[in-house]
Amino acid sequence: MANRVVIAMDTESVGVGPGGRKSAVAQVSLVNRSTGQIYNAYIRRQGITNYRTKYSGITPGILKARGRRFVDVKREVMNILDQADILVGHSLHHDFRGLGIAPNFEIRDTSKYWRFKKANNGKTPGLAFLANRFLNKNIRRNGRHSCVEDANTALELYNLVEGEWEAQLRNSRRNRYNNNSQSASEYESDSEYESDSEYESDSEYESESEYESDSEYESDSEYDYSY
Per-residue pLDDT tens over the stretch 103-149: 888 999 999 999 999 999 999 999 999 999 999 999 977 767 899 99
Which runs of E-coded beta strand occur in 111-195? none
**pLDDT computed for residue 95 by the predictor:** 96
| pLDDT tens digits, 160-216 | 999 999 999 998 887 776 776 665 445 443 433 333 333 333 433 333 333 333 332
Whole-prediction pTM:
0.77
Q: Which domains does the chain have, with CATH numbers?
A: 6-218 (3.30.420.10)
| pLDDT tens digits, 56-88 | 999 999 999 999 999 999 999 999 999 999 999
**pLDDT computed for residue 202 by the predictor:** 41
Band (pLDDT 50/70/90 cuts) for residue 1 is: low
